[in-house]
Amino acid sequence: MKKRSGGTLVPEVPTMDAITKNLGHGRFAIQHFSPFGPLEAGFIPVEGREQAHRSWRVGNRVVGEMNSWTEFVVTEMEDRLVPEFHKGQIIADLARPISEMITTTQGAMDLMEKVRLDIDVGLADVPLLYQPLYDRVNGPFPGGSVQIGGDVLFDANVIFQQKFEAGEIVFGTLSRSGAPTFVPINTYAAGFEWDQDILEFDRSYEVSMNARAFGRAYNYLLNHLHLSPIIAFSYAGGNSTAADATAGEGITAHTLRTFQTAYRKGATAVPQRIPTTILANEADRFQIEDALLTPVLDSNGNKLRGVPVSTIIYYNGATVANGVVSATYPGVTAGTCYFIAPKFRMKELVHHDMRIDTGPGDISRLIAGQQVAVTRRGQYLDIPNSVEKITLPTS
């Protein structure tokens, strides 16, 4: 819309991106742009930027000739005004998650888009810890299992040799030593249903609660599936390092020497398994980090060599209850940790990630709706050729 003089109706209007603030957990704040002045009949105040805020006035709509004005009728807003709205730079805090306010014309797609956003919120509540350890292999795997052979999964071997005139190149192979085995692709599922009474009487219930719970439970499951085999494995002497107890040194030097011993064992093993990642209990954080991340002196005042570590993962497990059943996911026991050569012999096999289906309920039980989440995946671990269990010193 133009003024009679040809100027713009509201100059320098910011974009929604510029005045929108993400408060996290699906909540947003929208600033009030203070140069907006209320419209008065026959007048648009655009020249000055310090006009006073006033209530909207009721007028009549006037349709004139081309290039003439229109007066605005806003009677429906008169009794909705609040004085605070007219103050500069007001923050309007949305009372509901933004996913609850999404509307489109696509029917069921509305709910699916809400579910996707709220799952993201739930996933963010429980961080994934295992990913630095595993190489991800995406499916699908139609047979329901994955065939592997030898000590390396999905790998090839080739050797570079000098090429002489008229000589031939020696081609690599995909063959693997050892008897082939099969890794199953397992199905994991969870679900929600809600009855008509919840919709009629429970004003605190919202469907997005389900999606957030799916997100949290999914990450709990993934951490458990990929870390619990390492924790539960029975380690023999070739994969176990005892705590160092060099005379005259304290716990920090003992801890560093213990990791040095474990590192040498992995580096000299056949096949070689150079460890770079530590899996530990949160209670041992300071002992481990003091030993590995700060200079450590021996009993003679000489600096001990550091151990190359790229990642430290602290995992204490989790307990999840839904009112009907509960699940306890064990974590690393305090006083022990695992020094790991990641990815090469550790694979997560993902047939598909979490899918959520929403369907009709059961009228005979007054069930109004149901949601089911499902994932299909497996994992391959060659623990003896990847992991060294460490007993941490206590003094």
Residue-wise pLDDT for 309-359, tens only, equals 999 999 999 988 877 788 899 999 999 999 999 998 899 999 999 888 877
Helix axes 251-268, 285-293, angle to 10 degrees: 70
Q: Domain spans of the chain?
A: 16-95, 209-391
For residue 348, the 8-state DSSP code is E
pLDDT tens digit sequence for 227-283: 999 999 999 989 999 999 999 899 999 999 999 999 999 999 998 999 999 999 999
As a whole number, mean pLDDT of residues 194-204 equals: 75
- Cα(345)–Cα(74) distance, integer angstroms: 69
SS3 6: coil
pLDDT tens digit sequence for 53-108: 444 444 444 444 444 443 434 444 444 444 444 444 334 443 444 334 334 444 44
pLDDT tens digit sequence for 122-181: 677 888 999 999 999 888 888 888 877 644 455 677 888 888 888 888 888 765 555 557
- Cα(363)–Cα(368) distance, integer angstroms: 7
Res. 194 pLDDT band, cuts 50 70 90: confident
Q: What percent of the chain has pLDDT over 90?
A: 36
CB within 8 Å of 250: residues ≥ 6 apart = 395
| Structure-model confidence comparison of residues 41 and 242, the more confident one | 242
Contact between 95 and 61 (Cβ < 8 Å): no
- The answer to whether residue 9 scores a pLDDT higher than 60 is no
Q: What percent of the chain has pLDDT over 70?
A: 64
CB within 8 Å of 338: residues ≥ 6 apart = 230, 231, 278, 279, 280, 332, 387, 388, 389, 390
Closest by CA to 351, choosing from 327, 377, 314, 325, is: 377
